[in-house]
Every structure is written in structure tokens, then in C-alpha cells.
Structure 1
Amino acid sequence: MARSVATERRMLQMAATDIRLLELGDTLAMLWVRLVAFILEHGSDGVFVAGHDGAPTLAGIATFRFRLDETQLKTYLETYAETRLITWDETRGAIGLPDILMPSRRVLASRENGKKGGRPRNSDRITPQNDPRQRHAIMPIAGGRTVQPETQTETHETSRAHKLSLACTDQSQDKLQARIETCFQATGRKAFDAAGFDIAKDRADWGIVRQYVADALRAGLNEDEAERLILGEIARVTARVGEKGGRPSHLGYFKPAIAQAIARRDVPAPVLSSAADYEAKRAYDEAQRAWVRDQIDGKETPEPMLSDFLARARSAA
């Protein structure tokens, strides 16, 4: 549904002056604003039907958009519906705007008219200039038939080796996406907290961290290094801004700093917090010295990674 300035202005005016929202408190009032904005963005004619025609389910909306569980969101929806701040049909999963924010009948009629092709012409006389058939005329292309085999050979590779390469690419992409999602689930909330945001007060969310994780993993970092780099840059920039009396307003604020750190591979050293960690660090130092000797002797051996030693030590503990 198209978001109009007038509708958003009425929504904000309601949030500031409507006695029903004021009685609910600041937290529920802010959640109502976010809910209405979601309906305006993803709904159709002022109504959003969860789980219909590819739309996200109510559980998905609660978890990833509002950071709530499904039962809590349903409780809020019932509270809003009792005071007619929204309309809520639990059977269909339909969430609608209040009457004051719904599109007018004239707007709805205009949309339906547009779906049918708009207003009819004043005159039915067809001329070469307004003939609708001209819009879909098939125009000949010189040489189109003569170059068809060459074009197919160059753009439609059908060899078995090519198909296998595509399959390998798809599998590697699936594995990378799984790594990105796992690392994001472990890093997202930590990044939100490291930036000094409060989940009860701030409207910001940590969805952008998924892009930071993807950039770091595609650059060759592992999951532990990606997490340390992202959290380290967020903490550093937040402290720098705080010294000047400022405060980041959203996690997208850290994008330039994180991109530069990934390019420099500026990964902070891991924090050693237990005896097992220090023992793993000593084992890594010995493996690093052995690897340097192998390189001098011309042996091709993989470089040891401190994160691997720490992970094995912590899992064993």
C-alpha cells in the first residue's frame, strides 16, 4: 500500500493527542505507531493479512519486526482492537487501520479504476496515434534469424561441465547463507547492545548487522573474526561519538567504519578469559612458529588460526 504524507501525519497526530493511546502508555503507543507504519508499508487498502499470498506470518512479524513473541503481539492486538485503534480478525489474521486512517472511498474507487485501465476515452474513434495495438506491435530485427545459432551458443551454455559448475556454485552459496544466518543470530543483539541502544526505548533494530556479517564472511573472515570485528568497531565508534556528547541513532551509522575495518582486516585480538584460553594461546604460538619454519622450508601447510584453537579449547571445556 502506498504511504501518503497525509496518512502518516494523521498517524503521528493520533499518537500525540489521542486519549486512548495516552492511556496505554508510551511503550504501547510507540508499538502502535510501528504497527500502523507496517500496515501502510505492506498492507493493501489499509489491511494486512498475515500469511496470505506470500505475506509473513504473525509469528514472523512478532519475532523479526517487533522483537516480541507471538502471544504477546496477539495480546497487544486485542488491546488495540478493544479501543478501535486497529481492527483485528484473529480467524483470518487480518490487521486493519482504524477508520480515521483508512483510505477514502474515492481513493479506493480510483485504484480500482486504475486496475481496469483508467478512464475510458472521450471518443471511440481510433487513429494511428491512439491505437492501443501499436503498443504491442512486433517489430522486425534485421539479422535476427541469421545470428540465432551464434547467440544461443554464446549465451546458453548447455554442456554437462557447465551445469555441474552451476550446481557447485549454488551449493556454496547455500552454505555461505547458512553461515551468515548463524553468525547474524549470534552477533545481532550483541551489536545492538554494544551501540548503547535500549530495546524498550529505541526504535532501531539490528537487521543491518546481517549485511555486515555477510560482507565480513565474503571477505574471507571466519565467524569468530567477523563478530569480533563488528563489535569492536561499534564499541570504538560509539565511544568516540560519546566523547563529543553525541549518540548514534541507528546501526547503519557504523557502516563506513565497519567497511573500512573489513578492507584492512582489522580484527581485534580475542579476549582470553580462562586458563583454557591461555593454554590454547600457547598452543597457537607453537603452531605459528612451526608454520613459519615450514614456509621457510618451502612446505605448503595451512596457516594456524587462533580462533580455531580457542574454539576447540572452549568446546572441550
Structure 2
Amino acid sequence: MARKSIEKAILDAVSDIRLQALGFEAIGIWVFLMNLIREIGTDGSVTFGFGRAPSLADVARIRFGMTETELKTHLETHCVTQLLAWDDATQTLSYGPDQQPSRRTIANRLNGAKGGRPPKNHVTERTDPAQRNLPPMAIKGGKSVTESKTHAPIAKAKANNDSYLKAKLVEPSASEIDAVFNRIGPKAFDAAGFDPARDLQNWSAARQWAADGLRKGMTPDEIERVVVAEVSRIAERQRNKGKPAPHMGYFGKAVCAAIAAGVIPEEPKTFAQQVAERDWEEAMREWVRAGGAGPQPVLADYAAKAAA
């Protein structure tokens, strides 16, 4: 009996009107017959006088205390009501249609006897359509014994990334870091807007900026421009918010990120350069008004004149 115990089947049959109509004696016989099938039967049925099962006459005499004819009468009655199934020709007693295993259960039992259902989409040499018509491979994996390599091993390409380039850079010495630190420290302090008379002149955070800039391959001038520009920008932003930066360490993360980005501001122009550009722009406007007559003004000429 599939997924149902004999106790569950008996409890379910108590409310069956077919069984109740037979009387208490027939109900007791039905319970004993159900237990007999479970005790000596196989797959929900038992054939009397075959295998380990005793004959029907012995069962009637020992288990029920009646003759074989009387037991057959009860079996035929239960068979008519479909509470049990009885075949007099083969002497086979089995569960009724309600207690019989389902088709799915029977199929699962047959598959289990054959070794079970193979895994879904399991492709083997026998089931693969691509190999169905091919002869079996003599060597595992299909490799030939005389196989030879036709290609040389491919050399691993050298990684051209930031980590490789950083490894190629020379680590700056302590003296180089100190020189840049002593240069950018006071200028960063002034760019932050601190008062030397009231604020502690401590720009030790600039030492890390100097080391990062040198490792990045920047010159001292480039490091100075990056640090001063970033400190000035953040200090101006905080002053506009009414929350000025309390110390130099406040700019640490932003300056380190700016150095890592490698975006270097333009070099500030001197007074002579500003004068040269102003005179050159004026000369260009006059040259355009004249319709491009004469030679075009060159900025280098005005820069040399202003420097002199």
C-alpha cells in the first residue's frame, strides 16, 4: 500500500457506508484480511498456497476459526462491495481499488527495480545525439597516443597596468620627501587660511602628500600646485558654509585623492606673462580689425618683450 499504513486505511474505512452495512462481524473479518495482506503479501496482494503464504483452508481454520467455504463467502461479499479484491481462480487476495497504489507509484517501483531514472539531461556517449552514430573511442578522451604538440606555449603578456608601472618607479628617499614637505607645508597652511598667530603651525599631513606625489612621478612644482589648489578649494567651500577647516588633517583624504587622480592644475602666471598676454590680445584685435593685413602677432614676441 503506497503512502498509507494499514492503520490509516482502517480508520478511513470506519466511515465507509459499504463497510458499515455489512455488520460488525464483517468489519472484523475485513480488518483481519487487510492485516493478513500486509503481513504475508507482496505489493498489496497475497496468493494463498504459493510461496510462503499458507493455503486458504489453513488461514480460515487458524486465523478465523471457520471453514474454507465460509471464508470464501466473506471474500466474495467484500469483493462485490470493492472493499477487497478476490480472484477465486488464482486464490489471490489484494487490496481494493481505493487502497491500491497509483500508476505513478507502480511506475516508480518498476524504475527503482531497474536502477532508477537517469538524471535529467544527462548526456552520455550512448544518449548524446552527436555521438550516437560514432564508434566507441578506443582511448579515453579521444586523444591519440602519437599526438604531438604543434604550438609552442604562449608567453604570458606583461601586464601594462598601474600596479606594474608603480613597481617600476623608484621609491623616493627620505631626503627628497623632506625637501618637498618643507616646501609645500607652509604654502598649504597659508592656502587653508589659517592664522599663524592664532593657529598651531602644524602641517605634518603634508609629508604624506609629498611622498604620494613623488611615488606618482610628479615634480615638486606639480605636487605644490595640486596640494595648494585642492586645499584652497576645500577651505573656500568650508568658509562659505560657515564651518572652516579645524586643522590641516581635514584636507588629507581629498588631497591624496587628487594626487592619485594625477590632474595637475596649470602653473600660475607671473605678472610679466599676464602683461604679455594682455598686449598680445590687444594686438590680435587690431590685426583682425585691419583685415589680417601684415604679419600675425606672436605671443612669444610679447613674452620676451615683457620679460626684458
TM-score tier by shorter-chain length is 0.3 to 0.5
So what's the TM-score if we normalise by structure 1?
0.36
Higher helix share: 1
Report the TM-score, using the length of structure 2 for normalisation: 0.37
